[in-house]
A = this chain, B = another copy of it.
Amino acid sequence: MKPREIQLDFGSENTSPVHPAFVAAVTSANVGFATNFEAEAWTERANQSLRAFFEHDSLQAFTVTTGTAANAIALGAMVPPYGTILCHWDAHIETDECGAPEMFSFGARQVPLAGEHGRLSPAAVSKHLTHARFGVVHSLQPTALSLTNLTEAGTAYTPGQIKELTDIAHRYGLGVHMDGARFANAAAAVSATPAQLSWKSGVDVLTLGTTKSGSFGVETIISFEEKYNTALAYLRKRSGHLVPKTRFLGAQLQAYMDDDLWLKNARHANEMARQLSQGLASLPGVELVHPVEGNEVFVRMPERMVNRLSEGGCKFQRDWRPEPHQHRFVCSWATSLEQVNALISVARDGAAQMPS
């Protein structure tokens, strides 16, 4: 469709092509007949691998095809209709899922809280919970804390930072959900294991993304708490998210873990973002909005430079919410150094055109 010229697409990991390992996984799984609805070898093998991957013997995994679904099913199983979900005011569940958590929890409310650079502030969480009217029927009851790692600002929580927040949540009886759409990038950023970034730090239910790591579209709800499992299973089916041909999801989830693909892809993407941010930051008038710890770069830049990038065919999130003049560039497994340098070069052109 597109000319074979270099594509400067930094809009989202989801605009990238699918990584060959996922293509191979899917094609390899396409042999003969296989029972549907998870009673097949691929899903079973992936579930076994997940237990090793997370060093957790009794986790339950539920694959679906979108991150919005994974988050909404997880939160729907964790929170009663009269509950609240504490999250960062910039969380994807709050800003970009059209109220999916509200739908799946039958009307629970999200409570957006503050925190610098995308990380929820423990003080903000504590303050909210201290003033919450627990046990008062006129008031919705705090029931879950939802963290996002990588955060929406492209920063990464360390296990210690997660633990600090989940300790507060658990003290008040809340369950903890983690939106791990970019879980691999976070793990690469802070050099922590999947276990350290999840249940060992107090996460009860994780939604683990592989889509942004290069798969066709597989997200997995991983429950470390047995009490949520029944609701998760029925809610997945009831919301139309149990796909029939699960083997193709199981095979991709397996490929994600095999040969450290998840980590390699994340490291590459993070490194591209680091180089991109350095290149952009070296230009006059460009300012990084957040520390670049993962594969996302948020910058403020002169309007002329932004226009030059758009004219040059560069794709990125312009005027990214909520601040105007703040733009988002995302790198993926498929982003090449050539592309990064090309983008910087176009931006430099924009800088050059500016009155000094």
Please list the residues of chain A having a beta carbon within 8 angstroms of any beta carbon in chain B: 1-2, 4, 7, 9, 11-12, 14-18, 23, 26-27, 30-36, 41-42, 64-73, 80-82, 95-100, 102-110, 131, 137-141, 211, 216-217, 231, 233-245, 248, 315, 322, 334
Q: Are B12 and A244 in contact (CB under 8 A)?
A: yes
CB atoms of A244 and B14 under 8 A apart: yes
Contact partners of A248 in chain B: CB under 8 A: 18, 216-217
Nearest Cβ distance between residue A241 and chain B, in whole angstroms?
Answer: 7
Given A103-B238, A241-B240, are A97 and B138 neighbors across the interface (CB < 8 Å)?
A: yes
Contacts A14-B244, A31-B17, A68-B240 known; A41 to B98 CB distance under 8 Å? Answer: no
> Would you call A1 and B36 a contact (CB within 8 A)?
no
**When the two chains form their complex, are residues A211 and B18 in contact, meaning their CB atoms are under 8 A apart?**
no
Q: A280 to B276, alpha carbons, bound, how many Å? A: 64
Residues of B within 8 A of A108 (CB): 99, 102
Residues of chain B within 8 A of A73, CB atoms compared: 240
Q: What are 16 A-B contacts defined by CB distance under 8 Å?
A: A9-B33, A18-B245, A18-B248, A23-B26, A33-B315, A33-B334, A65-B65, A65-B217, A69-B239, A81-B102, A96-B138, A98-B238, A99-B108, A103-B107, A137-B237, A217-B248
> Contact at B34–A1, with CB atoms within 8 Å?
yes
Interchain CB contact under 8 A, B139 and A98:
yes
Given contacts A1-B31, A96-B139, A99-B238, 13 further A-B contacts (CB under 8 A): A1-B32, A2-B32, A65-B217, A65-B243, A80-B231, A80-B234, A81-B99, A81-B234, A82-B99, A82-B238, A98-B138, A217-B244, A217-B248
Would you give the shortest CB distance from A209 to chain B, in whole angstroms? 10
Q: How far is the CA of A73 from the CA of B99 in the complex (A)?
A: 15
Residues of chain B lying within 8 A (CB to CB) of residue A315: 33, 35
